[in-house]
Chains A and B, each alone.
Chain A
Amino acid sequence: MKKLLSLLLAFCLILGCSAVVFADDQWAEENGLNKTESVEELYAAALAEGGVVNLYGCTGRDETVAKSFEAAYPGMTVNFYDLGINEMLEKFSREYEAGIHTADVLQPKEQSGSIFMDYIEEGLLHNYHPEDIFGEVDPAYLTVTPFVIELDWWNYNTELYSEMPITSWWDLTKPEWNGKFVFLDPNGEPDLIVLFENLIKYSDLMAADYERVFGEPIVLADNEPDAGHAWINRVAKNGVIIETSNTNIVKAVGGAKGMTDAPLGYGVSSKLRERDQQGFVLGVDPAHFEDETPTTAVSFMIIQIADHCEHPNGAKLFVRWICGEADGQGEGLAPFITAGSYPVFPKAPLADVEQPDFDSIPKFDLDLEYYYENYYDVYDYWVSVQP
């Protein structure tokens, strides 16, 4: 039996060690990812390489983009794989390891720095920043290839409250808010962990704000190293309701008219579009807190080209399309221009609806490396204090 087992083991090891393809920047250079080519050049080259783009996307809106792309470039076909972000990355990296290069472009969301650190830095995914499109984009954003910014913010029910009812992060630790707020499960999505990381990073501001709100300095418990951790611990103990999706959060806050006991909900800004599309009674005011602690972190919808993909020119053409082309007015970006989504391109239009002005929103400094480094420490802390 032992012999059999060791044989099996050896067998597995041999088969497990398939040849590893080393990612390199050379491929990116050879395929012109550092160049700015004209649409005509790319279109011709894309048709020449087969007229196909394989897209792994994380939202149904990518399908709309794919359809308008096919209409704009006759002869091009987009195969759209609708996947969750996690399934997408799992599928992509398994295929990559096996030397299969199905995906040409991936459209995930970058929040916690993991796509930047584990995929882009490692050369599995590439940035493509044609000068005419990305020339005026904030350079701080260009560690990835973003096209739209999404934030997380507090939503309130506009039938119950005439304005945002809380003015400090610490309000949520008060008894009157016990059991009356909801956020996304930190065990599932990165949104809350990134928020926690930032609150810890801004602990000094949090401590000062505590004193302002309660009139006395904060007294930390043994398991609270600083004011940021203290906030996490106390919110966990104040009856927080956990939701598993952003859709459920906005539904809980204002999914129907005549709700009597709706909670506040911290969720992704782009869901504000349900107010316009489905008539949800949602209000937001991210600049309503009275102190200077920011209220939200920046995250990106990104579009990355896969290393060693088979249709690099189709991929480049598609990236241009979803970014709305040089003037930002293109049809490809349109499905993403809704309430609470902010294009990274200064020339691109904003949704013609009532929404907070992007520059007025107090945002934490973007620091993907910091998010990446501290992610699991903060996650572990949450798990240890969660209700």
Chain B
Amino acid sequence: MAANEEYEDSELSFSRSRRFKNWLKNAFTNPYNILVFISVVALGILVVWPLLQMVFSTFQLAPSEAKRVHGTAGEFTLYYWQRLFHSQVSQNMLYKPLLHSLLIASSVSVLSILIGSLIAWLMVRSDLPAKGFFSMAVIIPYMIPSWCKSMAWISTFKTSRIGGTAGLLSYIGVTVPEWLAYGPVAIICVLTIHYYAYAYLLVSASLRSINSELEEMGEVIGAPRLMMLRKITFPLVLPSILSAFILIFSKSMGTFGVPAFLGMKVSYYTISTMLYSNIKQQQTNMAYAISLILIAIAAIVIFINQRVIGTRKSYATIGGKGGRSNVLSLKKAKAAVVIILTLFLAAAVIMPIGTLILQSLMLKLGDFSFENLTLHYWIGKGTPDIFNSEPGVLVNPQFYQVLGNSLKLVVIASLIATFCGQMIGYVNSRGRHLFSGRLVEQLVFIPYLIPSIAFGAMYLSMFSKARTVTVFGKVITLMPSLYGTFALLVLVTAVKNLPFSSRSGTANMLQISTELEEAAHMSGANFLTRMARVILPLSKNGFMSGLMLIFMAVMKELDLLVILISPKTQTLPYMAYSYTSGGMDQYSNVVATLMFLIVFLIYWIANKFFNADISQGF
């Protein structure tokens, strides 16, 4: 308000037109505005439009329902919303699953953040031994597809009542209660093991960038260690914790595989499994309506988050002067911490991968004898009596072609998504108190909440034809036809992953003090130079974390792409899926194992570079 009044006062000394001209000039040249403009237009086309189409569909009678309710296809209807909120199915289709989802999402977020932040703190701020090993191992559970973890969970805990053979524990005589094998507890455990990596990555990137001078200051004035943690470290990493919360909360709200695998058998439905049920029943408009409810919930979560961060100061922790971080000693607890961490990782890493590899080596599934082990599905030449002479994956030329496709898609899409994510993160962080910044933040989050299969279908429709307008006799292509092209796969993958890349981008940019940018500005650096010479180099830490995060997600992506893929643009998950659909589970397991190895290898390489950079940079 005060600033406004000042403005009013000074109005007399300037001519209106000149003021307007300055305002205009500033509006058009201010890089923040330009970025906002680009983001809003791009997100409008790529995100808002599909969303609006979804909203419209829920008020429009689909042809198949038209026959049923004796209406005309395309006419306005409240049928879907009424069915969802107030009909004989509402209780079991909406309210109960929603409650389940909220329970799961909040438990998973809290547990993941506890575990993830604790490990992050141990890794960055303590004198934990073998950090190199642990920092690698800690991220592996995220590289393993979640269905693989569910499979391992079941083969360990399953009871003989459901699913036939007893699990490992029942086998050695331990009575496993059913609530542990299936249902909410199982879902929460598996999802936590899957998602804590988000919290770990975001919080550790943030911890790493904290200038330890801040803590040293606390030490100088004699604050006890716990108080320093509470009053200095915790508030500094709070933005990244909240980022992680939003990510994990909505990921677990929207995830389908694990709740389907561990919940459906005991009829424990969540909002996402209900959503997929509707899609499978070809009740697409109902599915859209359920998605919109998911979107509304996420919007509320983001709104609350903005309130929390908004009322606090945001902290710029990457200042002009660097300092070396001091680590804190774990003292006597060291041995215990190492043991607990190792056990946790063994359960989360070795079991699922072991199950996967074992099942790729079994000539016939379900036969655990030693003679049944074979490398046929890896390197076999193919014999007519085993799945029509299908060769082992490693000697199948098609595998290498598919691998090439996958890598091309993953590298391009994750680079684009991460770069755009950093740019949007810049807008979000610099525009935290502006409507424009908040608008972009809200918009960019939508793609995650649209179910993958629906998102893919919408992109198929959107880009099936070139959209053109004729202005003064000139034909202008608004949108090219991307049907069947590789570019469409890249585009849809990049947009779908923007929520995550921009989250980590925001967490990242929030920590880069504006004064660094201002200093560069004053010494005459233009926006591009500032970006290239100041912002991006400083954010490379978070950039790499973000890139790896997206990379791993994209590598496993199937639902989103399945209806856009053509035989020539197949990816690895699609190949694994095809094998499963043909009943060739072992081949599918080989592909999944190889997928994991590739992700692991690439992460390992990135991590090596990443570490080298840290030691030089700060």
Contact = CB atoms under 8 A, between A and B. Distances in A.
Interface of A: 8-9, 11-12, 15-16, 18, 58-61, 63-64, 79-84, 86-87, 89-91, 94-95, 97-100, 102, 114, 117-118, 122, 179-180, 182, 185, 187-190, 241-244, 247-248, 251-257, 259-263, 274, 277-280, 372-373, 376, 379-381, 383-384, 386-387
A256 B171 CA distance: 14
A384 B92 contact: yes
A274 B584 CA distance: 12
Contacts of A64: 388
A190 B164 CA distance: 24
A338 B349 CA distance: 39
7 contacts: A61-B582, A82-B574, A91-B563, A98-B460, A118-B64, A185-B277, A263-B164
Given A16-B53, A242-B264, A383 B581 contact: no
- Counting chain A CB atoms within 10 Å of each CB, which of B88, B388, B453, B581 scores highest? B581
B365 interface: yes
B329 interface: no
B484 A94 contact: no
A8 B44 contact: yes
B162 interface: yes
Nearest to B267: A387
B274 interface: yes
Given A8-B44, A244-B260, A384-B91, A87 B563 contact: yes
Contact of A118 (B63, B260, B264, B364): B63
A251 B280 CA distance: 23
B566 interface: yes
A39 to B, nearest CB: 24
Given A60-B584, A94-B464, A256-B165, A87 B562 contact: yes
Contact of B364 (A63, A99, A279): A279
Contact of A244 (B166, B264, B453, B567): B264
Nearest to A271: B583
Interface in B549-606: 562-563, 565-567, 574, 577-579, 581-584
Q: Which 7 A-B pairs have the closest CB atoms?
A: A60-B582, A98-B464, A187-B277, A256-B366, A91-B563, A383-B89, A261-B160
A260 B563 CA distance: 42
Given A86-B280, A242-B264, A380-B89, 19 more contacts: A8-B48, A9-B52, A59-B581, A60-B581, A61-B582, A80-B567, A83-B562, A91-B460, A94-B461, A98-B461, A98-B465, A99-B465, A117-B67, A118-B63, A122-B63, A241-B161, A255-B165, A279-B364, A384-B89
B44 A251 contact: no
A122 B283 CA distance: 18
Contacts of A180: 161
Contacts of B52: 8-9, 12
Interface of B: 44, 48-49, 52-53, 56, 63-64, 67-68, 87-89, 91-93, 160-166, 260-261, 264-267, 269, 273-274, 276-277, 279-284, 364-367, 388, 453, 457, 460-461, 464-465, 467, 483-484, 562-563, 565-567, 574, 577-579, 581-584
Contacts of B279: 86
Contacts of A372: 67
A255 B453 contact: no
Contacts of B160: 259-261
Contacts of B581: 58-60, 82, 84
A214 B356 CA distance: 48
Contacts of A252: 162-164
B567 A79 contact: yes
Nearest to B564: A91
Contacts of B277: 185, 187-188
A79 B566 contact: yes
Contacts of A261: 160-161, 164
A327 B166 CA distance: 48
A58 to B, nearest CB: 8
A22 to B, nearest CB: 13
A83 B563 contact: yes
A188 B276 CA distance: 8
A16 B460 contact: no
A278 B67 CA distance: 44
B461 A63 contact: no
A262 B282 contact: no
A255 B92 contact: no
B163 A251 contact: yes
Given A82-B581, A87-B562, A241 B265 contact: yes
B584 A86 contact: no
Given A12-B49, A90-B457, A94-B461, A380 B87 contact: yes
Given A81-B567, A242-B265, A259 B582 contact: no
Nearest to B165: A256
A288 B87 CA distance: 39
Contact of B464 (A87, A95, A182): A95
A100 B464 contact: yes
A182 B265 CA distance: 9
Given A98-B461, A256-B164, A383-B89, A114 B267 contact: no
Contacts of B92: 383-384, 386
A385 to B, nearest CB: 8
B570 to A, nearest CB: 9
A35 B282 CA distance: 33
B563 A247 contact: no
- Counting chain B CB atoms within 10 Å of each CB, which of A12, A182, A373 scores highest? A12
A84 to B, nearest CB: 8
Contacts of B273: 187
Contact of A81 (B453, B460, B566): B566
A242 B261 CA distance: 11
A260 B483 CA distance: 53
B583 to A, nearest CB: 7
Contacts of B163: 248, 251-252
Contacts of B484: 102
A187 B277 CA distance: 5
Contact of B578 (A8, A60, A262): A60
B460 A94 contact: yes
B483 A100 contact: yes
Contacts of A97: 461
A188 B574 CA distance: 21
A152 to B, nearest CB: 17
Contacts of A256: 164-165, 366-367
B59 to A, nearest CB: 12
A18 B581 CA distance: 35
A379 B63 contact: no
Contacts of A117: 64, 67
Nearest to A262: B164
Given A16-B53, A91-B563, A98-B464, A179 B280 contact: no
A86 B276 CA distance: 11
A98 B461 CA distance: 7
Contacts of B261: 244
A97 B267 CA distance: 37
A380 B88 CA distance: 7
A83 B570 CA distance: 12
B583 A60 contact: yes
Nearest to B462: A15
B164 A259 contact: yes
A59 B366 contact: no
Contact of A86 (B165, B282, B483, B579): B282
B380 to A, nearest CB: 17
B579 A60 contact: yes
A30 B145 CA distance: 50
A180 B162 CA distance: 8
Contacts of A190: 281
B350 to A, nearest CB: 23
Contacts of B460: 91, 94-95, 98
